[in-house]
Amino acid sequence: MHPRLLIASLALSYAARARAGDAETAQARALDQEGVRAYQDARYQDAIDYFSAAFARGGPSVELWNIARCHLKRDEPEAAARALGDYLGKADLTPEDRDEAQRTREAILARPSPLTITSSPPGARVSIDGKTAGTAPMTLPVHAGAHAIVLERDGSEPIASTTTAAAGRALIVHGDFTRTTPARGGSRVAIEAGLGIAITAYGDATGGASPAGFIAASVPLVDRGRLRFAVGARLAISGDTWSTSAGVSNITGALSCKLPRDYSGATVAGHAVATGGVAISDELRAFVDVGFGLAGLTTSDVGGDAFMPVCNAATGIAPAAHLALAVSYAVVPRLRLVLRPIALDAQPAFVGARRAPIDASGAWLRATMTAGAAFEF
């Protein structure tokens, strides 16, 4: 309803009451006129008081709409919705006025509310109604109704709260991680898997590029601020390939099997691993892996540059060391993409490694690059 039409309708209402001889009509009309002047002067609280007094002295129901308009001017949408609710409860409304008031009230209640989320320290991961929203501090609109807010930060228990948006009213949610209980064990257990390429040197003998993969589990011991230290275990498998070069004899005539010119196998290694890292940001981490364990070679017939020729070889178990540089990025709160641009594995040669004419009995080295993902739970 347009303000000018509203004032005119009030004048007609008061004229009808005056003809009916209502003793309080003159007082109500005077109060209404003062309310109109206060509204025009932007004195909205005074206008509310005048319109409320006029309605209390028998003023028409539309005074409640005047009150609602004043509350909207004061950025008090909840109060405006209550005034319109009272207005809709009156029986003397025309169908047009009732429909307009109902639409206006519904629009007020359905206004999106600006939700501001902060954390101490800043940078907590934010989920709203189970969906990742970003990192604090942040402000975004939310629809009317109840919303579940969860703030998460490595090294602390999550902070969960519920807030209700209504009528466009601004909401503020704050998570203070300086007062929360540290997460048990410092953070979450992580399971990681990755795939990549390995290039191997067998002492002085060279190998080709082969596929490699691993699976690992780690348990954090320290996860405070930006520092993280974890221990765990790692199981890796990588391909091994080598050939028979000119001048290297397989002495096949003395063997019961016919050896090929090119060989392949797979090295399986298990390591106990310690990981130390630093958080560059809430999403990005850089860390170093150091591990020690055992490695074994799965193959049958051997020979060529790397081994003395043997059918059904038993190459034994060798101690193995592992070192890797890595970075990870959190794509969602519990899932991280992990890149290891360089990982080095070193071990003594397996049983049967050649010493001549190519010396493969020295340290075996494997350079690996992998990409994978880690899930924290």
- 8 Å CB contact between 136 and 123: yes
Q: Is the pLDDT of residue 225 over 80?
A: no
**The dihedral of CA 60, 61, 67, 73: what is its sign?**
negative
pLDDT in tens, 211-220: 999 999 999 8
Q: What is the chain's mean pLDDT, rounded?
A: 86
For residue 128, the model assigns a pLDDT of 92
Mean pLDDT value across residues 251-280: 86
Give the least confident one: 7-16, 45-54, 175-184: 7-16
Catalogue all structural domains in the chain, each as residue range(s) with its CATH number.
3-108 (1.25.40.10), 113-176 (2.60.40.1120), 190-376 (2.40.160.20)
Mean pLDDT value across residues 44-52: 93
What does the block give as tokens for 164?
A: 């209700």
User: What is the identity of the amino acid at 247?
Assistant: G
Q: Which residue has the higher pLDDT, 185 or 222?
A: 222
Rounded to whole angstroms, the Cα distance separating 178 from 168 reads 31
Say what percent of the chain tops pLDDT 70: 89
For residue 108, the model assigns a pLDDT of 87
> What are the Cα distances from residue 100, in Å, to 4, 69, 96, 104, 322?
16, 13, 6, 6, 74
Mean pLDDT value across residues 348-372: 93
- 8 Å CB contact between 313 and 356: no
Nearest to 114 by CA among 173, 175, 160, 169: 169
Q: Is the pLDDT of residue 13 over 70?
A: no
Provide the 3-class DSSP secondary structure of residue 340.
strand
